[in-house]
Amino acid sequence: MNTLNISRRSFLQACLLTSFTFLLPRKSSASTTVISSLPFDITESGSYVLNQDLNVSLATGAAIRILAPNVTIDFQENSITNTYGDMNRAAGIATDAFSYISISNGTISNFHSGVYTSPYNDTSQGIQVKDITVQDFYATGLYISGGSSVVANCTISTMLEASDIVNNECIGRAGIIISKSRAGYILKDNTIDMHDDSHSGRTTCIYLADIDEGYVLRNSLSNSFGGIVTGATGGPEFKSNTSHNVYVPFVGGINRGDNIST
């Protein structure tokens, strides 16, 4: 098996994957749709923005549902917050088997999951989440399914009690889950703090499920039972990640070096 040094192979793929930003169709500013209230369904491809902080009270469902491909959502430094209360089952943003979705520049608070794509989705590609903060979530900060996805410069933080525990493993609550990726994804420069200081919540910062190839680079992981945990044999590859107060920093995958645990 060819195990080229990550500095040659993975960074070439990083450049290709990051370029998905420029492949996403954009409408002119005159055609941009403002999301002014929640819940909101996106049924047409195009560009969508928030011009203010928005609140919604949801027990289930999603504040924003994406029901079309080729969609960009720019929060423009604004936020969406669920005011329903404890243990809601709602998502901040949810989508199914749609490709080329870009979500950026904002904060998602008090949802079951911040961004959620169907775990049964293995056909979509090009999901991109950048510069998003997900805080006080109940299950998963970002749950991304499909191939060729990028999660970059996101901040994931929760101080809530652990919720669902899957098969009694350390994925009861996770900062980021990547699932059903056919090939190629990048998680880079993210900061994840699960606030599970005593490791009693069986939490995981990054869980990589049902995938064989991808790259996890320069992420900061804190206060969790698991750090980077993969259920795949062989890849994914991880390099230059740091973990602090993580009981099991790295499980599975290919360690390309410069990963630091304190």
What's the rounded mean pLDDT across residues 20-28? 42
Residue showing tokens 């994406």: 66
Residue type, 82: N
- Write the DSSP string, 61-124: SEEEEE-SSSEEEEEEEEEEEE-S-TT---EEEEE-S---EEEEEEEEESSSEEEEE-TT--S-
Q: Is 70 exceeded by the pLDDT of residue 251?
A: yes
Cis peptide preceding 25, ω within 30 of 0: no
| Six-digit token string for 238 | 């991880």
Helices (H), 143-258: none
For residues 67 and 86, what is the distance between their CA atoms, to the nearest angstrom?
27
Please name the amino acid found at residue 72. T
Check residue 257 and give its pLDDT. Answer: 92
What mean pLDDT, rounded, does the chain reach?
83
State the CB neighbour count (10 A cutoff) for residue 253. 21
Output the pTM of the full model.
Answer: 0.85
Domains by residue range for the chain, with CATH:
6-261 (2.160.20.10)
**Pairing outcome for strands 220-230 and 242-251:** parallel
Answer with the residue of higher pLDDT: 179 or 35: 35
Give the C-alpha separation, 66 to 61, whole Å: 12
State how far the Cα of 133 lies from the Cα of 26, in Å rounded to an integer: 23
Q: Give 181's pLDDT tier (boundaries 50, 70, 90).
A: low
**pLDDT at position 165:** 39
pLDDT in tens, 102-139: 999 999 999 999 999 887 666 778 899 999 999 998 88
Rounded Cα distance, 3 and 14, in Å: 16
Beta bridge partners of 206: 176, 228
